[in-house]
Amino acid sequence: MAYKPRLSKRARKKMRAARRMVSDKIGVIAIKHRSKKPDTRFSPKGSHSATLDLDLIESWLLEDDRINLAAVVRETDYLVVDIDGRKGEKAAKKLGPLPKTLMVITPNGRHLYYRHGRKVKGSRIGLGPELDIIASGYTLLPESDHPDGGRYEAENLNHNIVRLPAKTITAINGSGNTNDEQSDPDEPSGGIAKGGRDNALTSIGGAVRRQGYGADFIITVLNAINEVHCEPPLLAKQVRKIARSVGRYEPADADLFAEMADVKPRKVDYAWFPYLVRGAVNLLEGDPGTGKTYLLCTIAACFSAGITLPGQTKARPTNVLFMSAEDDTDTTLVPRLLRLGADISRITYTTRYFRLEEEALGWIEKHVTEKGVTVVILDPLLAYMQGGIDMNKANETRPFMARLSELAKRTNITIIGLRHLTKGGKDKAIYRGLGSIDITAAARSALMLGLHPEDPDVRVMMHIKHNLSERGPSLAYQLEDGDYSKGKVPKLKWLGEVDIQPEDLAPATGQAGRPDDARKSAMTFLKQYLAGGSKPVSVVLLAGEKRSFSERTLRRAAKDIGVVKEGRNWKIAKKSL
């Protein structure tokens, strides 16, 4: 009999809550640990990923039993009365007597689940002091951890969800604080996708503020737009934060303009002259097999240990944050860093993958400030781009790159983003990176790696963009003195300057072969990821996406190594192991 993994005691309690919701046809989504935001590993489309599939929900908890679960009441016959503290209880009394129903105890109060016959159109955020009506969003289930501490608890999970009294529905609908109206399903929704919500609401709030309105008016406007048009809606406290921030702006536009005579000239600072600019975003680009990550490890090792890089006469040890969505820390990065002479006590990493949403940029800023980090590595850059962004559209990548550049400038750190190259050759090197040209435009410096035209064992680093300095000389290097069969990783050896530019490069290994290289990497990933047993296809594809593998490449690689499908799961056939 095949071994079936068991859920932890805590996860079993979460599954009990999920079963209760599913029994009433209320869909469930995965939420990040100690958060109210969807976990895109399992629910990539937020509330639109709601599922009634208990096997799928169980697979999430087997993958990560720390996640929160949430019930999605959007477009259902259910709503949740969210009462916080004494003020909320007092405000709730104005709705009339609330009958006993399914209740969840929250760290700040309680959630009451009711049927409403689809007579309440949309949520009412701020219906009263500390009182919200959730009818178009989602609420956390028992055993979920609140972001500010505390845990949601089941009070009477087996109680029926009763119908809300007609008088209470009338009181809610007559509040004048409606956030939602049914729109014509044939009309475009005009939705604001995840990744653009903060910017959109800030822009709208700013426009309202410029008309002279204060924070209270702004928050009413933003709440209405958030509930109807944001997918998924931001938390109420996030909207209030945006409104208060915008409300502090002067309604006049005088601060939009200034005299250049008041600007003090500032000398450009370099982490590695002239290749890496401090206080800016820098790019490192190349095809598979050109040693991009190895070069990043070398750069990180040199910065951490105070080892000079080519052209430098002195170097001081500094702290580095290495964020990798592709390589394991214990089997790949640490062995390489140690081999390259790094002081790994000065190198930090992220313990889990997350995209660089607005909140995550705040986490990084806090970390680099507290730890004195001066270099941040993103490997690869596009894996960390905010969800919902089309990397090929300039109008979508530009705000993300602008925020990344602002973070670098504000903290005076050197951000190095690794980027893969497109499959097709292009005339100019700066156009070859994956995604919009605006990504390159936002960088102050860009480096390209390739194979030496006369010796494929030698790599060449070329300076293809240099806004703030002259172009640096091309540098050759090779990996040597390694034996993977004995667990000995190679070292990087610099070979000096070479007169080689991108147009001189030899094709990367399998250049009509790049898809083959990607597929080989995907095959290795699948063998490792499925080594412990079968996993849901959706989970595998999401994990692969984080490592920059396309769905097509993963499916072809799965076929190559003999992956078989069992229901909604993938597993490796025994003969392929």
* pLDDT given for residue 73 in this prediction: 93
- Residue 169 neighbours by CB distance under 10 Å: 19
For 332-398, list the strands marked E by DSSP. Answer: 347-349, 373-379
Question: What pLDDT is stored for residue 273 in this prediction?
Answer: 94
Q: Which of 474, 504, 534 is the last residue of a domain?
A: 504
Both 520 and 447 in one domain: the answer is no
| pLDDT score recorded for residue 254 | 47
Three-state SS at 497: strand
Question: Do 108 and 212 share a domain, yes or no?
Answer: no
User: Cα separation of 334 and 294, whole Å?
Assistant: 11
Residue 532 lies in a domain: yes
Q: Which domain holds residue 224?
A: 192-255
Residue after which a domain boundary falls, among 145, 173, 201: 173
328 and 431 belong to one structural domain: yes
Using CA atoms, how far apart are residues 423 and 404, in angstroms rounded to an integer? Answer: 26
262 occurs within a structural domain? no
Residues 291 and 394 in one domain: yes
Per residue of the chain (577 residues), what is the pLDDT tens digit? 455 578 899 999 999 999 999 999 999 999 998 888 888 889 988 888 899 999 999 999 999 999 999 999 988 999 999 999 899 999 999 999 999 999 999 998 999 999 998 888 888 888 888 899 999 889 999 999 988 788 999 888 889 999 999 999 988 887 644 444 333 332 334 468 776 788 788 878 877 876 777 778 888 888 888 877 887 788 888 888 888 777 765 555 545 677 898 888 888 999 999 999 999 999 999 887 788 889 999 999 999 999 999 999 999 999 999 999 888 888 889 999 999 999 999 999 999 888 888 778 889 999 999 999 999 999 888 888 866 566 566 667 788 888 899 999 999 999 999 988 765 554 555 555 555 566 877 889 999 998 888 888 899 999 988 878 888 999 999 988 877 777 788 899 999 999 888 777 765 544 433 345 667 778 888 887 888 888 988 888 887 776 667 777 888 888 888 898 888 889 888 654 4
pTM: 0.49
Assess if residue 261 is contained within a domain. Answer: no
Query: Which DSSP symbol is given to 53?
Result: -
Give the separation between CA 137 and CA 123, rounded to whole angstroms: 7
Dump the DSSP string for 267-334: ---EEETTTEETTEEEEEEE-TTS-HHHHHHHHHHHHHHTPPPTT-S-----EEEEEESSS-IIIIIH
| Same domain (yes/no): 367, 243 | no
- Same domain as 496, residue 374: yes
CATH code of the domain covering residue 153: 3.30.2250
Single out the residue in 477, 504, 531 at which a domain terminates.
504
DSSP state of 164: P
Q: Is 570 inside any structural domain? A: yes
Residues 109 and 222 in one domain: no
- Residue type at 558 in one-letter notation: A
Q: Are residues 483 and 521 in the same domain?
A: no
Supply the pLDDT for residue 388.
58
**Cβ-contact 204, 187 below 8 angstroms:** no
Q: In the prediction, which pLDDT does 13 show? A: 94
Q: Per the domain annotation, does 372 fall within a domain?
A: yes
Q: How many Cβ atoms sit within 10 Å of the Cβ of residue 228?
A: 20
Kind and range of the H or E element at 138?
A: strand 138-140
Give me Rg for the CA atoms of the chain: 27
* Cα end-to-end distance, the chain, whole Å: 18
Whether 329 and 307 map to the same domain: the answer is yes
- Structurally, the chain folds into a number of domains equal to 4
Hey, how many other C-beta atoms are within 10 angstroms of the C-beta on 440?
Answer: 20
In the chain, the amino acid numbered 346 is R
Identify the helix (H) or strand (E) that includes residue 477.
Answer: strand 474-480
Q: What is the pLDDT of residue 92?
A: 92
**In-domain check, residue 509:** no
Is residue 492 domain-shared with residue 423, that is, in the same domain? Answer: yes
Say what the pLDDT of residue 314 is: 93
Question: 460: which strand partners?
Answer: 450, 476
pLDDT score for 322: 97
Three-class secondary structure of residue 374 per DSSP: strand
Structure tokens at 8: 């932890």
* pLDDT at res. 29: 96
Q: Is residue 534 part of a domain?
A: yes
The DSSP output letter for 163 is: B
pLDDT the model gives residue 386: 67
**CATH number of the domain to which 345 belongs:** 3.40.50.300
Query: Which structure tokens are listed for 57?
Result: 């929900």
pLDDT given at position 241: 84
Residue 235 counted as domain residue: yes
Q: Which CATH number covers residue 546?
A: 1.10.10
**DSSP E strands: which ranges in 156-258?**
192-193, 230-231
Backbone angles phi, psi at 47, to 5 degrees: -65, -25
Q: What is the per-residue pLDDT for 382?
A: 84
In this structure, are 101 and 46 located in the same domain?
A: yes
393 shares its domain with 479: yes
